[in-house]
Amino acid sequence: MADATFLDVRRLHGDADVDTSDVALAMDEDAFRAFYDRTSGALWGYLSRISGDRQVADDLLQESYYRLLKSAVPFESEAHRRNYLYRIATNLVRDSKRGPRPLFDAGVEMSEMPAPQGPVDAEGRTDVRRAFGRLKPRERALLWLAYANGSSHSEIADVLGLKTGSIKLLLFRARRKLAATLQR
């Protein structure tokens, strides 16, 4: 992650005289930056795996945080704020289906993403990625939230807009589907 300060950025853009203190956002700068540093890497991973497109993940990441900053929701806790952020991100990916570049189509192949660099088990990871790409977007989101983020059923339901009682069954099906694809 680039280590630029706010002043550096303002200097780079030639806007050192711009007064940004009067813009009403939901968090102050320090709180936002700390929250962003804690969550942005994981959210980028979620977005890139759900959308199957790194460029889209880059774009939607900033949009997600902006919408969080503009929201007027009183957050009870860090977890509440994080879940709300993931809900925004999920909706943005879903909405991108309506754009000129659909993401939630079956044609999205995550295996087309570039292979990882370095001495890793690239073949095995490509298999995982291919198998993951064959799932429906909602199944990818369910599994990622459950196993990559360690979210509870109620948190997953909150993020995806589903009933908590249905998460167990949906996860069961998604697990079996992914495992079957991986074992082929």
Partner 1 sequence: MRPGNRPFEAEPTDAEIEAIVAEAIAAEASLARTEAAPPSSAIVWWRAQMRARQEAAAAVDRPIRIVHAVAIAAGAGLMLSLLGYAAATLKGSSGWFGGVYQSLAATPLASVDLTSRWVMLPITAMLVSALVATIAAYFIYADE
Contact indicator for 175, 143 with CB cutoff of 8 Å? yes
Neighbours of 182 (CB within 10 A): 13
- Which span sits near partner 1 by CB under 8 A: 88-96, 101-109, 119-127, 158-166? 119-127
**112 near partner 1, rule: CB under 8 A:** no
**78 near partner 1, rule: CB under 8 A:** no
Contacts of 24 (CB under 8 A, 6+ apart): none
Query: Which one of residues 75, 128, 152, 162 is an interface residue with partner 1 (CB under 8 A)?
Result: 128
Which pair of tokens denotes residue 29?
A: 């700068």
**161 near partner 1, rule: CB under 8 A:** no
Q: How far is CA 75 from CA 27, 49, 71, in A?
A: 11, 27, 10
As a whole number of angstroms, the distance between CA 25 and CA 130 comes to: 40
**11 near partner 1, rule: CB under 8 A:** no
Size of the site for partner 1 (CB under 8 A): 56
**169 near partner 1, rule: CB under 8 A:** no
When the beta carbons of 79 and 179 are compared against partner 1, the nearer one is 179
As a whole number of angstroms, the distance between CA 100 and CA 87 comes to: 22
**84 near partner 1, rule: CB under 8 A:** no
- Which span sits near partner 1 by CB under 8 A: 77-85, 88-96, 160-168, 173-181? 173-181
Contact indicator for 148, 46 with CB cutoff of 8 Å? yes
Q: How far is the CB of 37 from partner 1 (least distance, A)?
A: 6
As a whole number of angstroms, the distance between CA 67 and CA 112 comes to: 30
**61 near partner 1, rule: CB under 8 A:** yes
Residue with tokens 């879940």: 83
Q: Report the first-to-last Cα separation within the chain, whole angstroms.
A: 37
Interacting residue ranges for partner 1, rule: CB under 8 A: 1-6, 8-10, 13, 15, 18, 20, 23-25, 29, 32-33, 36-37, 40-45, 48-49, 54, 58, 61-62, 65-66, 69-70, 116, 120, 124-125, 128-129, 131-132, 143-144, 147-148, 172, 175-176, 178-179, 182-183
